[in-house]
């Protein structure tokens, strides 16, 4: 299921934040440091994750370790939805 998390997050980022069709995005790349998303983009990502996966993201969970890359988001989703990740 983590492959599904990864693909879903990657597709959202590509469709909403990458403005070049040939843009290369590494799963471990910092989305903030590379300028792919900004602080407003983080809020959009949070809203997307909450709506798509039916989770609630607490303020204290809004940290780079959870949301700064596609792989971080995939791991975070797997920890929030352990039954779905199995």
Long-range CB pairs of 48-55 (<8 Å, 24+ gap) are: 48/12, 49/9, 49/73, 49/77, 52/8, 52/12, 53/5, 53/77, 53/80, 53/81, 55/80, 55/81
pLDDT of residue 44: 97
Whole-prediction pTM:
0.88
- 9 pLDDT exceeds 70? yes
Domain with residue 80: its CATH number is: 1.10.1200.10
- Number of domains the chain contains: 1
Instruction: Write out pLDDT tens, residues 17-29.
Output: 987 655 678 999 9
Range of the domain at 47: 2-19+27-85
Instruction: Write out pLDDT tens, residues 57-67.
Output: 999 999 999 99
């Amino acid at each position: 299921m983590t492959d599904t998390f990864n693909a879903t997050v990657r597709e959202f980022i590509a469709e909403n934040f990458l403005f070049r069709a040939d843009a290369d995005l590494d799963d471990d790349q910092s989305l903030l440091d590379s300028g792919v998303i900004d602080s407003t983009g983080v809020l959009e990502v949070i809203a997307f994750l909450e709506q798509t996966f039916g989770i609630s993201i607490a303020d204290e969970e809004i940290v780079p370790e959870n949301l700064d890359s596609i792989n971080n988001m995939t791991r975070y989703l797997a920890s929030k939805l352990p039954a779905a990740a199995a």
